[in-house]
Structure 1
Amino acid sequence: MTDGVSTVARLRSATAADHDAVDAKFGRYDLTDADDYRAFLIAHAKALPAVEAWLTAIPGLATVRSRGTELAADLAALGEDMPAPMAFDVPASPAAGWGAMYVVEGSRLGGVMLSRSVPEGMPSAYLGAKHLSGEWRALLTAIDGETADEAWVEQAIVGAKAAFDLYRRAPA
């Protein structure tokens, strides 16, 4: 930690505007409308697989429990194929990986809340793919447990901001 502030708190603070921008971009979708919901899932399908693939190539991170299968199944149920993922060209480092994982797993947490808006009869495996018991807290503890000198924290912020930016650019 730096100056007694946890790494997670620093990540949250440094990326708050990025998080808000992504929420604003995706908040325009009406998840009760089949066309909007389809577009919402397609946008996620452009971003999530790219970040997940990037994360799996970084040694030393927590295991990535992919939600790609659930996302593909929901899109297939709506008559859509998975789109090509966007490029996620961020210099790989463990710190940047933890930052990007913070965003991806935060998206999982938010997805569960959003799944409550999806009407009965519409596929919601992707948004409903919640964390295992204690998984989110374990991730935050792991991030805070990493060697968090200033350079490490800055790289974690770079990774988180890059992941947020990818999600922000994904909607058409």
Structure 2
Amino acid sequence: MADDEAMDGFLDLAGRRRSNMQPALAFPYQSKEGLDVRRHLAQSTSALHADVDRRTGAFDLQTHEGLQSFLSFMHCGCKAVEDGLTTASVEGYLPEWPQRKRSHLLESDVPSLAEKRPQKLEFSGEAEIWGALYVLEGSRLGGRVISKSFPSSERSAFLADSAACRFWPQFLMRLEDADKRLHDRVGMTDGAHKAFRAFIDFNPVA
């Protein structure tokens, strides 16, 4: 299916399409338009998603310089989104948030990144928080694909974490639960847009 091929979050973070990798939810909540929340967010963020794919696809991950540039690109967006979510008390909705954060792994890969101050990003309300989490968790899923495709990724703690984690199915269930409870897809879309834009607008290496 087209939506499954397009996936969610960041595709594969390097602008490459791939086959379906995520399990379908058994009985996803559907809006009046007939879309479950995952597909709704995929469609409503498709233009920003494509822009990020184009930018990440320009990095040659088979070279040391290309991998370093890619990790720097990811840090700029991830750090801003993670800090914004922490300020918005995301842990109240996702208790395992400390284990989900990854900007520190990027700083381990490229130590100079720890000195960079992220742009300030604010999320207003729970719906926006879930929309931003959708982008971050989709990027983790994409990182798994990269870790399998490029031998150089073995040198990256960020990509190694993506390869090892299996949060996506559980996250989709939590996202569906939030959708049924909040009925605020406008807010979710706004949060996802803010997260995608952080990777585009805040990034000096893009």
- Normalised to the residue count of structure 1, the TM-score between the two structures is 0.85
> Displacement of 1:136 after TM fit?
0.8
Deviation at 1:88, TM superposition (A): 3.9
From 108, 111, 118, the equivalent of 1:73 is 108
1:82 to 2:114 alignment: yes
The reply on whether 1:52 has 2:82 as its aligned counterpart is yes
Q: Is the 8 A contact 1:39 1:171 kept in 2?
A: no
Equivalent residues in 2 for 1:112-123 (5 A)?
112-120=144-152, 123=155
Distance (whole Å) between structure 2 residues aligned to residue 85 and residue 114 of structure 1: 27
8 Å contact kept, 1:95–1:159 = yes
Could you tell me which amino acid in structure 2 is paired with residue 17 of structure 1? A
The match for 2:24 is none
Give runs of aligned pairs for residues 7-18 of structure 1, distance below 5 A: 7-18=37-48
Contact 2:83 2:121 in 1 (8 A): no
Q: What displacement does 1:106 show? A: 0.6
Kept in 2: contact 1:99–1:159 (CA 8 A)? yes
CA distance in 1, matches of 2:198, 2:124: 15
Structure 1 position 13, deviation (Å): 1.0
Please report how far the alpha carbon of residue 118 of structure 1 lies from its aligned counterpart in structure 2 after TM superposition: 3.6
Q: Which protein has greater RCO, CA pairs closer than 8 Å, 6+ apart?
A: 1
Decide whether aligned partners of structure 1 residues 34 and 132 sit closer, same or farther in structure 2, where only a CA change above 3 A counts. closer
Deviation of 1:11 (Å):
0.7
The one-letter code sitting in structure 1 at the alignment partner of 2:108 is A
**What's 2:10 paired with?**
none
The sequence identity of aligned pairs, in percent, is 29
Which structure shows the higher helix fraction? 2
- Provide the C-alpha distance between the structure 1 equivalents of 2:145 and 2:204, rounded to a whole number of angstroms: 20
Contact 1:42 1:82 in 2 (8 A): no
Say which SS state the counterpart of residue 5 (structure 1) adopts: coil
Select between 102-111 and 52-61 the one with higher mean Cα deviation. 52-61
Question: Does residue 41 in structure 1 map to residue 74 in structure 2?
Answer: no
1:1-172 aligned at under 5 Å gives the runs 1-3=30-32, 4-57=34-87, 58-59=89-90, 60-62=92-94, 63-64=96-97, 65-76=100-111, 80-120=112-152, 123-130=155-162, 132-133=165-166, 135-146=167-178, 147-149=181-183, 152-169=184-201, 170-172=203-205
8 A contact 1:47–1:85 mirrored in 2: no
CA distance in 2, matches of 1:34, 1:132: 24
Aligned Cα RMSD in Å? Answer: 2.1
- How far does the alpha carbon of each residue in 1:24-61 deviate from its partner, in whole angstroms, 9 at most, with x for none? 01100001111121111111111111211222232432
Number of residue pairs aligned between Structure 1 and Structure 2: 166
Task: Structure 2: give runs of 5+ residues left out of the alignment.
Answer: 1-29
